[in-house]
Amino acid sequence: MNVNNTEIERKFLVDRLPEDLDKCECRSIRQGYISTDPTIRLRQCDDEYILTVKGAAHNNGLDRTEFELSLTEAQFLKLWEKTETGAIVKKRYLVPLENGLTAELDIYEEKLAGFMNVEVEFSSLKQAVLFDAPNWFGAEVTEDRRYSNASLVKYGIPVKK
């Protein structure tokens, strides 16, 4: 898989867990960063291994270009030696929403234990702007770079303003 696309998403904190979370698909994720500026990320998602390069954010943080490249486990492990950050470990739950959307609910483990956030990806900027968040979503943090995974791994959980 070589994918070069524009990612359009909004990110929120989590006020409470959604109902029936135990019925949602769950993935185990470990990720680290070869570089946080520019963003070059390694991610293991279950038994998939991916190298991602992300471009600068646009439209108030709503969209950015990204390039993804599938790796073998051996390639991943060799590149993992080059990471400049510790690992982020989390469970990602895929929660179905209205209009065919999916909430990606991340529940962090290890040094970020207790922290949760949720992202929703969209097919257009218009869809992103018109999105009405479910009542279990908390404050929106799309524009707050302190809540990016690259920042979380370097600086920990932000103190709320």
Could you list the active site residues?
33
Q: C-alpha angle 21/146/79, rounded to 5°?
A: 80
| Strands 25-36 and 88-96, bridge-based pairing | antiparallel
Cα 31 to the center of its chain, rounded Å: 10
What's the rounded Cα separation, in Å, for the pair 104 and 134? 13
Assess contact for 134 and 103: CB atoms under 8 A.
Answer: yes
Would you call the peptide bond into 38 cis, given omega within 30 degrees of 0 as the criterion? yes
CA–CA distance, 79 with 71 (Å, rounded to integer) = 10
